[in-house]
């Protein structure tokens, strides 16, 4: 049993249940955060809610209670509700939320674990939807963390992003201290830093190319040597997070524009739409070439292969936007306009295969000189939390506050 550092008041308790770790993993697909943000794009009013003591709303099965036993100086205890740290706690809680809001999700509200957002176009509708969701929570015995609830806002923080009428951007509270991040000094801190920046990669132009020197430190057998290239990448990623662009929401009534560019080390893509006469960014995407992909450039038709594969990858990456939609594809590799028009006339099997896959999409290919593709050409060419000493009195007060589950039953049983 140990306390978990939290960004909110209180000290959540977690159990290290080694024996339960061998249990079969349950599966429960979580919604994609990008999908959630896209749905919220046309909402005029938003309300966010957070379920108090989320996992403690799920009672343990009677035959599983004894498997959660742990000892402390006061005796032997067993969990009557799902504790934080149990292997299948997340899928169990997700199924509970799915059952509670099954017919309201995606139309009235959106849920990610214990975070819920209600959205609407006008105030009367918003009140009706809030009433529906709150009644479901009441019937399920849920309680809310009132300090984290926001009601009837035009702009809210949700899942690390700021959702506004004009677009989305990273939550400043999540990235304001990025400039004070210490330089990674081992593999663990490298992964932590890249985990932070990768979460916001849709905002960062050329993320894969920028992070490449640091990514190489993660390769199996690679020696940890922090080079000047690593330092430059480190500082540039921090600057990018501090000054992110505002991404517009996709409008499926308008035509998309997909710009793709590939180089020897990475593939970059930029999805855009014209808004009020200006091309605005919907999302950025990029990927490092790995393994045999890096060898394509040395083969006959190597440049065409990399460029064509980059387009195929980009359309897969943005398939949720482009599927069954007419869109314009821009490439700086003129030969590909011929491949897509007459892919069956080339002897390169890869190009034929990729051209056939792309023919399923409703795209129109345009050649654009590399000098006019600067916004994607760059695509291809942490804050470590300071943990203060835990005040024993604070922990005791938190333990006393949390001694009862939110639904009225005790969360622990003394045996």
* 125 pLDDT tier (thresholds 50, 70, 90): very high
Do residue 93 and residue 8 come from a single domain? Answer: yes
Work out whether the CA dihedral 14, 20, 22, 27 comes out positive or negative. Answer: negative
Among the candidates 191, 218, 242, a domain finishes at 242
Q: What is the pLDDT of residue 131?
A: 96
pTM check: above 0.85? no
Q: What is the DSSP letter of 88?
A: T
Distance CA 82, CA 63 (A): 13
54 contacts 94 by C-beta, under 8 angstroms: no
Contact 272, 281 (CB under 8 A): yes
Determine which helix (DSSP H) or strand (DSSP E) holds 190, and give its type and residue range: helix 187-199
Whether residues 351 and 398 fall in one domain: no
Q: Lowest-confidence range among 66-70, 260-264, 366-370, 381-385?
A: 381-385
Q: How confident is the model at residue 385 (pLDDT cuts 50, 70, 90)?
A: very low
94 inside domain:
yes
Distance CA 323, CA 341 (A): 20
Q: Give Cα separations from 334 to 87, 172, 260, 293, 326 (angstroms).
A: 52, 41, 12, 21, 21
Q: Which of 101-105, 122-126, 283-287, 394-398 has the lowest mean pLDDT?
A: 394-398
Q: Is residue 142 part of a domain?
A: yes
Q: Are residues 107 and 9 in the same domain?
A: yes
Mark whether 155 and 193 lie in a shared domain: no
- Given a cut of 70, is residue 184 above it in pLDDT? yes
Same domain, 407 and 366: no
CA distance 77 to 1: 11
Q: Which domain holds residue 194?
A: 172-242
pLDDT above 70: percentage of residues in the chain:
74
- DSSP letter at 95? H
Pair 358, 217 in one domain: no
Which residue, among 152, 147, 169, has the nearest Cα to 160 in the 3D structure? 169
Residue 250 lies in a domain: no
The closest alpha carbon to 339, from 370, 365, 310, belongs to 365
Instruction: Please write the tens of the pLDDT for every residue from 223-236.
Output: 899 999 999 999 99
Return d(Cα 413, Cα 415) in angstroms, integer: 6
- Give per-residue burial for 10-44: e unless 16+ CB within 10 Å, then b: bbbbbbebeebeeeeeeeeeeeeeeebbbbbbebe
From the list 242, 155, 230, the residue with the least C-alpha distance to 196 is 242
The better pLDDT of the pair 109, 160 is held by 109
Please, what sign has the CA dihedral across residues 346, 352, 356, 357? Answer: negative
pLDDT band, very low/low/confident/very high, at 138 (cuts 50, 70, 90): very high
More confident residue, 403 or 98: 98
Mean pLDDT of 166-189: 79
Residue 296 lies inside a defined structural domain of this protein? yes
Do 279 and 185 belong to one domain?
Answer: no
Residues in Cβ contact with 120 at an 8 Å cutoff, skipping those fewer than 6 apart: 43, 44, 45, 126, 129
Average pLDDT over residues 229-253: 85
Which CATH number fits the domain that encloses residue 122? 3.30.70.270
Q: Is the pLDDT of residue 153 over 90?
A: yes
Both 153 and 294 in one domain: the answer is no
Are residues 295 and 314 both part of a single domain?
yes
User: Is the pLDDT reported for residue 398 higher than 80?
Assistant: no
Task: Give every CB contact of residue 133 below 8 A, 6+ residues apart in sequence.
Answer: 49, 101, 104, 108, 109, 116, 118
User: With bands split at pLDDT 50, 70 and 90, how would you rate the model's confidence at 399?
Assistant: very low
Q: What is the pLDDT of residues 26-58, one digit of tens each?
A: 566 677 888 888 888 778 899 999 888 777 877
Asked, for residue 57, whether it belongs to a domain, the answer is yes
Q: So what's the pLDDT on residue 48?
A: 94
When pLDDT is cut at 50, 70 and 90, the band that residue 386 belongs to is very low
| Helix, strand, coil fractions of the chain, as percent rounded to 5 | 40, 20, 35
Which tokens sit at 382? 């942490």
Instruction: Answer whether residue 80 is part of any domain.
Output: yes
- Res. 6 pLDDT band, cuts 50 70 90: low
| Mean pLDDT, the chain, whole residue set | 77
Highest average pLDDT, of 6-10, 16-20, 175-179, 387-391, comes from 175-179
Position 376 pLDDT exceeds 70: no
Q: Are residues 162 and 183 in the same domain?
A: no
What pLDDT score was predicted for residue 123? 94
The number of distinct structural domains making up the chain is 3
Whether residue 379 is contained in a domain is answered as: no
Are 138 and 182 in the same domain? no
* Mean pLDDT across 276-288: 86
Q: Span 184-193, mean pLDDT?
A: 88
Task: Give dist(CA 264, CA 299) in Å, integer.
Answer: 12
Cα dihedral 214, 216, 222, 228 sign = negative
What's the CATH code of the domain at 260?
A: 3.30.420.10
pLDDT reported for residue 302: 64
pLDDT band at 257 (very low <50, low <70, confident <90, very high): very high
133 touches 118 (CB < 8 A):
yes
Q: How confident is the model at residue 396 (pLDDT cuts 50, 70, 90)?
A: very low
pLDDT attached to residue 411: 52
Q: What is the pLDDT of residues 291-345, one digit of tens each?
A: 777 766 656 666 777 888 888 899 998 988 888 888 999 887 666 666 666 545 5
The DSSP symbol for 144 reads B
Same domain, 302 and 283: yes
Residue 381: inside a domain, yes or no?
A: no
pLDDT at 135 over 90: yes
- Hey, which bits of 213-314 come out as E strands? 256-262, 266-275, 278-288
């Amino acid at each position: 049993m140990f306390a978990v550092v939290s960004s909110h008041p209180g000290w959540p308790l977690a159990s290290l249940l080694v024996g339960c770790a061998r249990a079969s993993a349950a599966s429960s697909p979580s919604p994609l955060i990008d999908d959630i943000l896209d749905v919220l794009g046309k909402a005029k009013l938003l309300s966010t809610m957070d379920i108090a003591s989320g996992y403690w709303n799920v009672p343990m099965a009677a035959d599983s209670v004894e498997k959660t036993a742990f000892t402390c100086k006061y005796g032997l205890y067993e969990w009557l509700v799902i504790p934080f740290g149990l292997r299948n706690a997340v899928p169990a809680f997700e199924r509970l939320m799915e059952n509670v809001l099954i017919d309201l999700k995606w139309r009235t509200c959106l849920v990610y674990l214990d975070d819920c957002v209600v959205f609407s176009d006008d105030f009367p509708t918003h009140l009706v939807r809030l009433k529906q969701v709150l009644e479901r929570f009441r019937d399920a015995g849920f309680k809310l963390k009132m300090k984290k609830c926001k009601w009837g806002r035009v702009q809210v923080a949700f899942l690390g992003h700021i959702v506004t009428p004009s677009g989305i951007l990273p939550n400043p509270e999540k990235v304001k201290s990025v400039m004070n991040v210490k330089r990674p000094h081992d593999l663990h801190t490298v992964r932590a830093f890249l985990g932070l920046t990768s979460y916001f990669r849709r905002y960062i132009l050329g993320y894969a190319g920028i992070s490449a020197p640091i990514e190489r430190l993660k390769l199996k057998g690679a020696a940890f040597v922090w080079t000047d290239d690593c330092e430059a990448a480190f500082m540039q990623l921090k600057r990018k997070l501090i000054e992110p662009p505002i991404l517009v929401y996709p409008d499926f009534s308008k035509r998309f524009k997909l710009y793709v560019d590939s180089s020897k080390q990475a593939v970059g893509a930029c999805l855009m739409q014209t808004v009020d006469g200006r091309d605005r960014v919907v999302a950025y995407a990029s990927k490092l070439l790995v393994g045999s992909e890096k060898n394509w450039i040395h083969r006959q038709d190597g440049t065409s292969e990399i460029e064509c594969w980059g387009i195929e990858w980009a359309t897969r990456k943005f398939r949720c936007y482009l599927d069954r939609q007419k869109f314009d594809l821009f490439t700086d590799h003129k030969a590909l306009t011929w491949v897509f028009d007459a892919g069956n006339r080339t002897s390169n099997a890869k190009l034929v295969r990729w051209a056939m896959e792309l023919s399923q999409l409703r795209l129109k290919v345009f050649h654009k000189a590399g000098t006019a593709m600067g916004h994607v050409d760059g695509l291809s060419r942490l804050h470590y939390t300071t943990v203060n000493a835990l005040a024993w009195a604070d922990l005791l007060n938190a333990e006393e506050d949390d001694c009862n589950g939110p639904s009225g039953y005790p969360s622990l049983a003394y045996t």
